[in-house]
Amino acid sequence: MKAIISNNVQEAKALLQNGDIVAIPTETVYGLAANALNAAAVAKIFEAKNRPFFDPLIVHVASVEEAEKYVQTIPAPLLRLMQTFSPGPLTVLLKKKDVIPDIVTSGLDTVGIRIPNHPLTLALLAALDFPLCAPSANPFGYVSPTSAQHVFNQLADRIPFILDGGKCAVGVESTIVGMENDEVVVYRLGGIAIEEIEKIAGKVKLTISQGSNPKAPGMLDVHYAPSTQLHVGDVGSLATQFQALRLGLISFSDTYTDIPFVQRNILSPTGNLNEAAANLFEVLRSFDEKNIDIIIAETFPEKGLGRAINDRLRRASTK
């Protein structure tokens, strides 16, 4: 098998109707999609990604009305969040209905629902009479793909088709929210900043898993990692620590011209955190193709999408 890269929605539709898996573009990262109501099709996703079955998948739908077919009730605060940020980089954990097979949720009674904001994938969802479950389209544990080429580089031999929707505009995965005891909880930092969520839902609780035995399956500590060693922190002292080696830099807007980096990646020369997030995963991947011993990343400002960037850098870093 060698994946075809194309922007033909009809072809993607035909494959999905046939129980095949297809990579799809979203505004966050590319997903690897299957008919969420067809357990055998969903199993192919786990196989292609080498993903453990205890890690549940997100179900993508075209609208809030569509979501209601697959969940029991939507608590008012979560409904407000969905109405405000959908389509967009938000995933909401809700009690599932029985039509959603257990393989999708790893046997949990909740399902993650998301309305992605990408014209091709919204057109695809509108053309299908089933929802699409899709994890990020990368081998388990690796950096998520933000272009069709990234997907091709790693999964071309394992999937038939990549729906090409260009570079992902947001570049980090969706923010995952749910409710516990009448409180809105954020489980994964992502494309919608906490500050934006709190404007709608009030103060939220953060339950971002830090350990190797997370409460939410799949929110593993080591994740999103490139093959090259990565260290996050104060750039000057890390550069001194590793000075005999070939160093690569990931910075926000600073160029650190006084340090002899072999490769410099400045995520946003103008200091825009959204732009930085959109470039992050592409830059993390780029080091694996270069002859770099150590990547040094600075800590980003802990606000807006800077928090999601720091979260991904910390998870990608060498422990």
Site string for ligand TXA, 39-78 (x = CB under 6 A): ----------------xxxx--------------------
Our finding on whether 175 is near Mg ion (CB under 5 A) is no
> H-helix or E-strand containing 274?
helix 273-288
Burial class (CB in 10 A: 0-12, 13-18, 19+), 55: middle
- Residues 166-225 binding ligand TXA (CB under 6 A) are 173-174, 176, 216-219
- Residues 122-141 binding ligand TXA (CB under 6 A) are 134-136
- Rounded CA gap, 206 and 199, in Å? 15
Of 114, 71, 305, whose CA–CA distance to 197 is shortest? 305
Residue 112: which of Mg ion, ligand TXA, none does it interact with, CB under 5 to 8 A by kind? ligand TXA
Among the listed ranges 9-17, 89-97, 242-250, 306-314, the one in contact with ligand TXA (CB under 6 A) is 89-97
- Residues 272-311 binding ligand TXA (CB under 6 A) are none
CB 45 within 8 A of CB 51: yes
Tokens of 61: 């739908």
- Residues 23-42 binding ligand TXA (CB under 6 A) are 26, 28-29, 31
Size of the site for ligand TXA (CB under 6 A): 28
225-245: burial string, b at 16+ Cβ within 10 Å, e else: bbebbbbbeebeebbeeeeee
- Of 103 and 283, which has the nearer Cβ to ligand TXA? 103
Binding site for ligand TXA (CB under 6 A): 26, 28-29, 31, 55-58, 89, 91, 93, 105, 108, 110-112, 114, 116, 134-136, 173-174, 176, 216-219
Binding site for Mg ion (CB under 5 A): 136
